[in-house]
């Protein structure tokens, strides 16, 4: 969830222009704030990193103006005449309404019958696709630096002590995109300038810059990224930076205190701290056709705080905050997620050593669950196929439905992930595929993820 609301006065474009003046905690200067009038405008201005994985949203019309006394009398008459029909309208006549809408929205002026509600497809940004467009300058690899995990717990710290210890190691990440720029958060993992953040923060970047807590800015090089784990490593030329202490997420239990520190809404709310508990330690979340096993927390995160620190009661970073659940239909509170530090350890060490993570076999397809309708069977629907993948070479295309794998009936992405578990890149998996009414069986070779991302 990087913040991409602003144009940065042209910063990040090929012109190389930088903002003339900026201070943490103050608004970022910009020529003009883009209108936010729907999916098309969002796409033109840069994607908003909000991990709302639904395919549909509901767009409400503006409330209609009403004549004072006449409107009140109309409201009373309508209320009295329809009081007994409220349940019927709520569940029967107006099924198109949102779950919390219905007749009560009409009576309160929030809507004027379902014909005024416009349903539209919301085009979600796919940051994993944008990773392929990343051209930010790269840093040398193979330096021998690794991410250390401190297994000692010691005494629990107060919230104030945790903030004083961790916040100096939280930095801002400025991302120069093809059009405009974006903001995110990073965590200092070495005194000589290695910075850990999310892959979706740097997706599509042309240039990178890190803003340190003392307001100094440094050009950053991209060491490497891994889309499947949503992790990236940057490098700046520096010495003596304050380093965050990383702990083991394996030691966490549900109910443990948790604190999130990041740049909420970008640099306007620099190093904001929120608190909560660990809600789940191994929550599987489907994101863009892949599964991520994440920490779940009630500590609030928002746009701009992606790449920030999830900290335990001992002041150790145990997660890298990367997403939250949102909905236009339902009230959702306290559902935020972070990449576990033990996952980060494995990925980051490989990124610094070789610039990519090679420990994950992939089919090279993006899918979502298909419940089945008409002649289309239940399974997982293929929404896109990587041209570099063996799946593409074997004829799997968008619109196909995978119904089986290695002799097992497949109904969901989780089913396919279980079949893939334990397989290595270079090994094959036999898929049963439904395509335009025909069924066929194909053997597809798994490839290393970085081959598809680069």
- Residue pLDDT tens, the chain, 454 long: 776 533 333 344 333 333 333 344 444 443 333 333 333 333 333 333 333 332 223 222 223 333 445 555 555 555 555 554 443 333 333 333 333 344 444 344 444 333 322 333 333 457 888 898 999 999 999 999 999 999 988 899 999 999 999 999 999 999 999 988 999 999 999 999 999 999 999 999 999 999 999 999 999 999 999 998 999 999 999 999 999 999 999 999 999 999 999 999 888 899 999 999 999 999 988 776 567 899 999 999 998 999 999 999 999 999 999 999 887 777 888 899 999 999 999 999 999 999 999 877 888 888 888 988 889 999 999 988 988 889 999 999 999 999 999 999 999 888 888 888 778 888 999 999 999 999 999 999 998 766 666 6
CB 190 within 8 A of CB 145: yes
How does strand 207-211 pair with strand 217-226?
A: antiparallel
Residue 366 is predicted with a pLDDT of: 84
Pick from 245, 230, 203: nearest CA to 291:
230
Residue 111 is predicted with a pLDDT of: 42
Burial class (CB in 10 A: 0-12, 13-18, 19+), 155: exposed
User: How far apart, in whole angstroms, are the C-alpha atoms of residue 454 and residue 445?
Assistant: 18
Active site residues: 200, 230, 306
* Main-chain dihedrals φ then ψ at residue 302, nearest 5 degrees: -145, 175
Pick from 129, 126, 135, 131: nearest CA to 47:
126
* Main-chain dihedrals φ then ψ at residue 430, nearest 5 degrees: -90, 120
Residue 386 is predicted with a pLDDT of: 87
Residue 57 is predicted with a pLDDT of: 30
* Residues in contact with 81: Cβ distance below 8 Å, sequence separation at least 6, in sequence order: none
User: How far apart, in whole angstroms, are the C-alpha atoms of residue 160 and residue 163?
Assistant: 5
Q: DSSP secondary-structure letter at 251?
A: G
User: How far apart, in whole angstroms, are the C-alpha atoms of residue 389 and residue 449?
Assistant: 10
SS3 content of the chain, % helix, strand, coil (to 5): 25, 30, 45
């Amino acid at each position: 969830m990087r913040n991409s609301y602003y144009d940065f006065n042209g910063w990040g474009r090929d012109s190389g222009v930088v903002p003339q003046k900026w201070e943490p905690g103050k608004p970022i200067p910009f020529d003009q704030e883009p209108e936010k009038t729907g999916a098309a405008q969002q796409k033109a201005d840069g994607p908003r990193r909000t991990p709302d994985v639904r395919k549909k949203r509901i767009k409400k019309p503006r409330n209609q103006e009403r004549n004072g006394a006449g409107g009140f009398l109309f409201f009373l008459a309508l209320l009295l005449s329809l009081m007994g029909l409220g349940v019927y309208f709520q569940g029967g006549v107006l099924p198109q309404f949102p779950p919390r809408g219905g007749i009560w929205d009409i009576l309160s002026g929030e809507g004027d019958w379902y014909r005024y509600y416009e349903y539209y497809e919301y085009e979600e940004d796919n940051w994993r696709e944008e990773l392929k467009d990343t051209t930010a300058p790269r840093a040398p690899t193979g330096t021998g630096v690794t991410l250390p995990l401190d297994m000692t717990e010691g005494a629990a710290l107060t919230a104030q002590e945790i903030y004083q210890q961790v916040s100096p190691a939280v930095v801002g990440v400025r991302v120069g995109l093809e059009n405009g720029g974006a903001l995110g958060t990073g965590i200092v993992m070495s005194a000589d300038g290695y910075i850990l953040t999310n892959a979706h923060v740097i997706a599509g970047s042309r240039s990178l810059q890190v803003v340190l807590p003392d307001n100094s800015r440094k050009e950053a090089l991209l060491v490497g990224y891994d889309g499947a784990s949503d992790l990236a490593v940057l490098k700046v030329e520096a010495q003596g930076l304050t380093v965050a202490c990383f702990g083991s997420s394996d030691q966490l239990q549900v109910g443990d205190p948790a604190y999130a520190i990041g740049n909420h809404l970008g640099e306007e709310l620099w190093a904001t701290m929120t608190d909560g508990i660990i809600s789940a330690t191994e929550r599987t979340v489907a994101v863009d056709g892949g599964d991520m096993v994440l920490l779940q927390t009630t500590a609030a995160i928002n746009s701009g705080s992606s790449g920030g620190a999830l900290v335990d009661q001992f002041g150790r970073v145990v997660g890298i905050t990367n997403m939250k659940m949102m909905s236009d239909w339902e009230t959702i509170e306290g559902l935020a997620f972070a990449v576990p530090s033990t996952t980060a350890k494995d990925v980051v060490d490989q990124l610094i050593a070789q610039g990519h993570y090679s420990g994950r076999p992939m089919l090279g397809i993006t899918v979502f669950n298909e419940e089945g309708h008409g002649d289309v069977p239940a399974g997982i629907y293929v929404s896109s196929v990587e041209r570099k993948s063996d799946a593409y070479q074997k004829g799997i295309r968008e619109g196909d439905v995978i119904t089986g794998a290695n002799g097992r009936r497949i109904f969901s992405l989780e089913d396919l992930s279980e079949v893939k578990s334990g397989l290595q890149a270079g090994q094959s998996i036999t898929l049963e595929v439904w395509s335009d009414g025909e069924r066929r069986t194909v053997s597809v070779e798994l490839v290393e993820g970085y081959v598809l991302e680069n």
